[in-house]
Amino acid sequence: MRVARLHAAGDLQVADEPPPETSPGCSRVRMLSVGLCGSDLHWFTEGGIGDAVLNGPLVPGHEMSGRALDGPLAGTLVGVDPAIPCGRCPVCLRGDGHLCAAVAFAGHAGLDGGMREELVWPTSLLHPLPDGYDSAQAALLEPLGVAVHALDLSHLRTAATVGVVGCGPIGLMLVHLAAALGARVVASEPLTHRREAAVRAGAEVTLAPEERDGWAERDGCPVVFEAAGADDAVAAAAALVAPGGRIVLLGIPERDSLTLHASVLRRKGITLAFVRRMTEDAYVRGIRLATSGVVELSWLTTHRFDLDRAADAFAVAVRRSGLKVVVDLG
């Protein structure tokens, strides 16, 4: 089978490898589409993310869809939940498997991800999708689950005002979800094409960085999502949030640190919430929203490449010239 492996920062190689061996409780999946996430770009450009580093060739990709080849879902299009919690620790037993310290995650720290023609994965983490559903949209169900989980952590009230700082794909999904709840969405983003995408997703107000301070002086958002992973984005979120409000941090910084202007946050009495991937329930609810048509994902994919051009896909994603980049394997 064809496989894309990251051997070092910037060194992604496609080669032939034997198919993976089967395992009890698992199903073989013919991979169809893999979306590139911001965390994948950290692996590609830096050879690591946070405190995890590349210690051997790794197959990237955790936004995955495919078709089950065997097991109870044989022949079915599936979304693949990329996180495998241990299921035994106190955190897992209380229902927070996404916070499991021993969680194994596709395309991260030694566990090969989805950028290969065939995958063997726990059957319990395969979610059936309707026949005819586009595989690229199916790959976006994982980041949609992250956005749903972030919305849960925000305690957003129906029809409130919400800010979104950073309008990459997950930021745009948050714009879309909040607008579907009747929120007035204020989106802040330096790139013109992403501000335009935010309008399409439902934003009522879009702000370039130089416009944020003036708007913040006149108004404020009870909830702000920070989806860029940069110090200036955190500062923008602090400026946009209303006194007594909440900032939900989703962005992953290039360095494993962020700078907070404590005086602003303290003076406003702000609550901070950090997002760790998603709960399984958030993934299931995201699937329901997308397959029922409440949330539309098709327009988010702006570039598609076949597996042999996976390195080109990463290069386009790093330039951030579009929105979502997808590698197709089917």
17 pLDDT tier (thresholds 50, 70, 90): very high
Q: Is the pLDDT of residue 323 over 60?
A: yes
Q: At what angle do helices 38-46 and 310-319 cross, to 10 degrees?
A: 100
The number of C-alpha atoms within 13 Å of 266 and in the hemisphere containing its C-beta is 4
237 pLDDT tier (thresholds 50, 70, 90): very high
For position 184, what pLDDT does the model report? 94
Average pLDDT, the chain: 92
Say which DSSP state 219 is in: -
For position 214, what pLDDT does the model report? 66
Mean pLDDT of 19-29: 93
- Ordered by where they begin, the domains of the chain are 2-140+297-328 (3.90.180.10), 144-274 (3.40.50.720)
Mean pLDDT of 268-277: 94
For position 215, what pLDDT does the model report? 65
Q: Is 57 exposed, middle or buried (0-12, 13-18, 19+ CB in 10 A)?
A: middle
Q: Is the pLDDT of residue 122 over 80?
A: yes
For position 117, what pLDDT does the model report? 96
Residue 271, C-beta contacts closer than 8 angstroms, at least 6 positions apart: 245, 246, 247
Greater model confidence, 219 or 184: 184
35 pLDDT tier (thresholds 50, 70, 90): very high
For position 243, what pLDDT does the model report? 93
Mean pLDDT of 181-210: 94
Mean pLDDT of 82-90: 94
For position 225, what pLDDT does the model report? 97
pTM of the model: 0.92
For position 217, what pLDDT does the model report? 57
